Amino acid sequence: MPEHLKTFEHKKRNWVGKPLKRKEDLRLLTGRGTFMDDIRLPDMKHAATLRSPYPHAWIKGINVSEALNFPGVRGILTGEDVAKMSNPFPVGVPVPPKYYCCAIDKVRFVGEPVAVVVADDRYVAEDALDLITVDYEPLPVVMDIEEAMSPEAPVLHDNIGSNIYSHRFFQYGDMDKAYKEADLVVKGKFHFPKYGSTPIETYGVIASYNPFSEEFVIYNNYQGPFVNHSLVAIALGIPENKMRWIVPTDIGGGFGTKTGLYPSIALIALAAKKTGMTVKWIEDRREHLLASATGTDRVTYMEAAVKKDGTILGLKDKAIDNTGGYIRAPEPGCAYRSTGNHTGGYQIRNLDREVLVVGTNKCLTAPNRGYTCQELYFSLERMIDLVASELGMDTAEIRFKNFIQPDQFPYTTATGGIYDAGDYQKVFQMALDKIDYKKMREEQRKAREQGRLMGIGFSTVVDPSVTNIAYVTLALTPEERAKGHPKSGSGEAVIIKMDPLGKVHVIACTNPQGQGHDTVISQIVADELGVHPDDVTVSNVVDTHDRVYSITTGSYSSRFSSVVTTAVVTAARRLTEKMLKIAAHLLEANVKELEIQEGKICVKGSPDKSMQMRHVAGTAHWNQAALPEGMDAGLYETCLYTMPTSQPPDELDRVNSSNTYGFMAEAIVVEVDPETGEVKILKWASVHDAGTILNPALLEGQVMGSCAHGLGGSLYEEWAYDENGQCITASFQDYLVPTAMEVPKIDIGHVEIPSPITALGSKGAGESSCMSVPACIGNAIADALAPLGVTISELPLSPNKIWHLIQKAKKKR
């Protein structure tokens, strides 16, 4: 571990680690949450968005006159207004496309906003959409990732001149040497699908503009990071302090999808400014499934240079991401976010990477739970199995062979990731034990004799948490970076205060989306201050005018359990320190002699010399003259904690792209119906190291959710388009999210290897299995179909797709 890194001592705790029920449950379960659509402001009008039916077309003209005359319509915003009133969004690529919040003269995907109608209600607004006529001149489309790079492909953005938004080469270690030393080179090509998160609550915005103060007030359900507050201010051409964002108490799910909300915030803000109205827009499900945000689909070519004994000497890969009709921040993060953990849990020191981010006529992207780690691990973990298969080696054995060893932590990867703590062998072994691996292989042998297709799959992957915003600058070369302003950080702000009667209130800005943050904050503060969790209240919404927050604030990249908890602990300790100073002054003792016991501050060894903590609080507020000289009155402490491991990339493009690194092992046993191609999951073990467990009940929920999400990407979910560019999964009838009926029993296990760099030893867990499950199910199905000569290189594996793979293999034989 680099010397400058702060490490924390972890002590035994009373409340942290207990499965406390969520404080949030009562209001949520009784329908008393406050979500976007619950907010109703005086004189509020309603917006509906006209969206392009074409994937690629010039807009030759728009006629809104009939719609404007429709009773109840208050105004219409078109691309012409947007071009006059705003700027394109900045994005970190060498030649940015001109991405406005609305199409100006060209549409580039089905569902792209073309105009906004503001009316007395949403019904009237939608009626008026039908009265707008747009003269489109359709253009040829490009839908395939690799075709997008062809010189013959239709070009989406003339100012770029090709469909390539970002392109870089990276070299870590010495791949040439790895090739020379290798006994064989195994090659694979993998295609990961475009899919999303489809939170229950869709996007929502309410915007108003005050022409006198020239200030926007915008309610929205943005999940963070608040770097995009700056981007919207730039797009609107206003100073940041003239735009106030307020996020409601409750958000109905985010999963990264809601980081794609910010262009809609700008759009509705402009509609409010143009019409002079307070404008509300709630995205409907069709809009969501056409035009919100998905993760990127990716084509990966990968080669592994390996020794006969299974040692992987090096990897060479070329990954092509697709951000759709435009590229918007935080992309091209898709290509760079997993840099530090690119070699997963293995000791692979040599790596050549080529990275491309391209555009096609598809919906735009945003981080999707796991943010491209599912793409990365689908290729890496499938590759491990391909290598094992080439060598005739057991798929568990090859993983053990290449794992980083427990005594190597903290471990710096070839790409600059600093893995804080782990014991990968222990996690994987638990997963193997849970499925009774040896017995399963025996059953598989018997099944194969009967012609049944049974398969066993693993994936053993590193779970990175707490994004270091520095990674985005990898889109620039070291020389280009040296000329610009470096970026780094992962900060989160917390304020803690004790009121005059001795109760505690915490102000955080994590915008929880159902994770139970308020409960965990109460548990942590209860431990730190020696109070009961019920004595702690939490206010946890962002208001950019009223709250202390950081540019990286928000709930994304599983930040809460690492960085927010550390901020809470640090602020609470500052508060304790101040209280001890006050008590020492009042008790005429030395701070070092004091201890906190059951709500009292006592002098060690002198039980009669003590004070109730609430009396200390009372003094701080009510008798300010009694405080030590020079001390501020009151009891408030703030901490804006950033992980010291969040450093900018070095000149060799190495970067610690995240800050804490958990680990997980999936083990899944499947049986494929040889006639129908249906997949039945027989056994599923999911074992996690998320460091210290803060609240086991909440962790269980996160793991279940992430497993279900991973299952969705493996077998069901895909943002699918036909060859003409029409999205064919624009309702929940066709976009298939697994339900309780599709999710089998999952045997969840935990290994706790505390992180030395977080206050409580916790690492992230919110995204977890959605990174590992697609690879694992892919491996299990590949193993099941191996006797037929079928290989698996793409997802989702619908029965139809598996049936076609089987038929194709049969024809070959």
Partner 1 sequence: MKPSAFEYFTASTVAEAISLLERYEDEAKIIAGGQSLVPMMNFRVAQPEVLIDINGIKELDYIRQEDDEIVIGALTRERDVELSPLVQEKCPILAEAISLIGHASIRTRGTIGGSLVHADPAAEIPVAIYGLDAKMKVVGPSGERTLEPEEFFLSYLTTSLEPSEILVEVRIPVLPQKTGWSFVELTRRRGDFYIVAVASILFMGKGGVCKEARICLGGVGPTSIRAEEAEEILAGQVITDALIEKAGQKAAEAADPESDYHASAEYRRDMTRVFVQRGLAEARNRAKGG
Summarize as ranges the residues that interact with partner 1 (CB under 8 A).
Answer: 122-123, 126-127, 130, 284-286, 675-676, 678, 716, 720, 728-729, 731, 733-734, 736, 738-739, 741-742, 798-800, 803-804, 807
Task: State whether residue 47 is helix, strand or coil.
Answer: strand
Q: Which is nearer to partner 1, 111 or 173 (CB)?
A: 111
The amino acid at 253 = G
**Least Å from the CB of residue 810 to partner 1:** 12
Torsion of CA 393, 396, 397, 401, to 10 degrees: 120
**Least Å from the CB of residue 289 to partner 1:** 11
Distances 162 to 109, 146, 165, 359 between C-alpha atoms, Å: 17, 13, 8, 9
**Least Å from the CB of residue 684 to partner 1:** 18
Report CA Rg, the chain. Answer: 27
Q: Which is nearer to partner 1, 98 or 801 (CB)?
A: 801
Q: Which is nearer to partner 1, 129 or 304 (CB)?
A: 129
CA 14 remoteness from chain centre: 31
Measured distance CA(644)–CA(53) in Å, rounded: 48
Are the CB atoms for 490 and 646 separated by under 8 Å?
Answer: yes
Classify 482 in phi/psi space as left (phi over 0), alpha (psi -120 to 50) or beta: alpha
**Least Å from the CB of residue 117 to partner 1:** 12
DSSP secondary structure code for residue 728 in this structure:
S
Looking at the chain, how many residues does it have? 813
Task: State whether residue 77 is helix, strand or coil.
Answer: strand
Measured distance CA(318)–CA(358) in Å, rounded: 13
Measured distance CA(224)–CA(556) in Å, rounded: 7
**Least Å from the CB of residue 712 to partner 1:** 10
Q: Rounded to a whole number, what is the largest CA-CA distance in the chain? A: 91
**Least Å from the CB of residue 803 to partner 1:** 5
Q: Extract the tokens encoding 262.
A: 């910010």
**Least Å from the CB of residue 393 to partner 1:** 35
Q: Which is nearer to partner 1, 477 or 807 (CB)?
A: 807
**Least Å from the CB of residue 772 to partner 1:** 22
Are the CB atoms for 752 and 544 separated by under 8 Å?
Answer: no
**Least Å from the CB of residue 77 to partner 1:** 19
DSSP secondary structure code for residue 88 in this structure:
P
Measured distance CA(273)–CA(799) in Å, rounded: 50
Distances 350 to 193, 313, 517, 794 between C-alpha atoms, Å: 28, 7, 40, 26
Are the CB atoms for 404 and 422 separated by under 8 Å?
Answer: yes
Q: Which is nearer to partner 1, 210 or 800 (CB)?
A: 800
Q: DSSP string spanning 467-495?
A: --GGGGGGGS-HHHHHHS-------EEEE
Q: Extract the tokens encoding 739.
A: 């339900």
**Least Å from the CB of residue 126 to partner 1:** 5
**Least Å from the CB of residue 724 to partner 1:** 13
Distances 22 to 10, 17, 252, 357, 496 between C-alpha atoms, Å: 24, 14, 16, 41, 20
Angle of helix 227-236 relative to helix 262-275, nearest 10 degrees, comes to 40
Q: Which is nearer to partner 1, 712 or 756 (CB)?
A: 712
**Least Å from the CB of residue 802 to partner 1:** 10
